[in-house]
């Protein structure tokens, strides 16, 4: 039987939130967002930050803790999976030979998410590197209607799909984090 954790949050003014709005790193960054391209980029950046917030403060064992059998999903697995996804998106953008998978065969991103600090450090480094590379590749295509190499997807579709992928996995991260230590919030 699994021990039930108390629900908790870092917020003091808004106990239903992860952090109080004044402390939220996703709010008030830079100039106001204007236009569709900047809006999509802003939402993607917000979800990327949310994923990192959900992993913050956990050790290797907690990050690698799997949800419920037979699922292989863990917060560490999500970090690795999204690094793999970012890499694959670049395959959609360019005409070059596809980049090799980071972690090997299908689902290796989740299967290899083990409680080892070196694996955790590599996952964070991989994710940051792949996000930066994807952003750099997309920056060369500011026209949302432009069709990109692989399958002719538009830049708009690519960005919306990116937001959707992160949003979906941030929902998973909410539940995974609550299972690890009871922390809840936005």
Render pLDDT for 101-150 as a digit per residue (tens, 0 to 9).
999 888 888 889 999 999 999 999 999 999 999 999 999 999 999 999 87
Sequence-distant (6+) residues with CB within 8 A of 179 are: 5, 65, 67
Which residues are paired to 147 by β-bridges? 154
The confidence band for 2, taking pLDDT boundaries of 50, 70 and 90, is: very low
The confidence band for 43, taking pLDDT boundaries of 50, 70 and 90, is: very high
Q: What is the mean pLDDT of residues 35-50?
A: 93
Mean pLDDT (the chain) is 86
pLDDT number for residue 1: 34
């Amino acid at each position: 039987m699994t021990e039930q954790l108390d629900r908790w949050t870092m917020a003091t003014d808004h106990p239903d939130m992860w952090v109080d709005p004044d402390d939220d790193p996703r709010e008030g960054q830079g100039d106001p967002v204007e236009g569709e391209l900047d809006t999509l980029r802003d939402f993607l950046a917000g979800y990327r930050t949310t994923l990192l917030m959900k992993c913050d403060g956990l050790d290797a064992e907690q990050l690698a803790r799997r949800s419920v059998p037979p699922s292989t999903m863990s917060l560490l697995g999500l970090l690795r999976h999204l690094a793999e996804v970012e890499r694959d998106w670049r395959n959609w953008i360019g005409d070059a030979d596809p980049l090799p998978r980071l972690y090997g065969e299908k689902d290796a991103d989740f299967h290899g998410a083990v409680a080892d600090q070196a694996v955790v450090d590599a996952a964070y480094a991989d994710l940051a590197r792949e996000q930066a590379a994807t952003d750099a590749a997309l920056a060369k295509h500011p026209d949302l209607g432009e069709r990109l190499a692989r399958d002719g997807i538009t830049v708009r579709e690519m960005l919306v799909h990116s937001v959707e992928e992160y949003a979906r996995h941030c929902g998973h991260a909410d539940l995974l984090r609550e299972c690890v230590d009871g922390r809840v919030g936005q």
